[in-house]
Amino acid sequence: MKAKYILTLLLLIGLSMSSILPVWAQVEGYRVQVRKDFGYSWASDIQGRFTIQLQGDETEVDWVTFLIDEDSLGTVQSAPFKVSFDTGDYPDGDHLFSAEVTLKDGSLQKTTSLAYTFIAASETSKQVKTLLIGIGVVLGGIFAIVALVQALFIKKGKKSPHQPGEPRSYGILGGTVCAKCGRPFPRHILGINLLVGRLDRCENCGKWVMTTRATPAALRAAEEAELEVIKAEQKPAPSKDNFKKDLDDSRFFDDL
Q: How confident is the model at residue 140 (pLDDT cuts 50, 70, 90)?
A: confident
With b for 16 or more beta-carbon neighbours within 10 A and e for fewer, the 49-73 pattern comes to: ebebbbebeeeebeebbbbbeeeeb
pLDDT tens sequence across 59-115: 999 999 999 999 999 999 999 999 999 999 999 999 999 999 999 999 999 999 999
Using CA atoms, how far residue 122 sits from 29, 43, 89, 128, 222, in Å, is 39, 17, 16, 10, 53
Domain with CATH 2.60.40.10 in the chain: 29-123
Topology given in CATH for the domain delimited by 29-123: Immunoglobulin-like (2.60.40)
Nearest CA-CA partner of 85 in 94, 72, 102, 104? 72
pLDDT tens sequence across 157-209: 455 556 676 778 888 888 999 998 888 999 888 788 888 888 888 888 888 89
